[in-house]
Amino acid sequence: MPADRAHDKGLMSEPPELEPHTLVLLRWPDRLPELSDDELDALQAEHVAYQRSLRERGIIAVAGPFDGQPDERWRGLTIYRVGLDEAREFVEQDPSVRRGRLTYDAWTWLVPVGELDL
Task: Give per-residue pLDDT as tens, 25-78.
Answer: 999 999 999 999 999 999 999 999 999 999 999 999 999 999 999 999 999 999
The hierarchical CATH code for the domain 19-110 is 3.30.70.1060
pLDDT at 118: 75
pLDDT at 4: 55
Task: Report whether pLDDT(3) > 70.
Answer: no
Question: Where do the DSSP E strands lie in 13-98?
Answer: 18-27, 60-65, 74-80
Torsion angle defined by CA atoms of residues 82, 83, 85 and 90, in that order, rounded to the nearest 10 degrees: 10
pLDDT at 2: 54
Q: Maximum distance among all alpha carbons in the chain?
A: 68
pLDDT at 17: 94
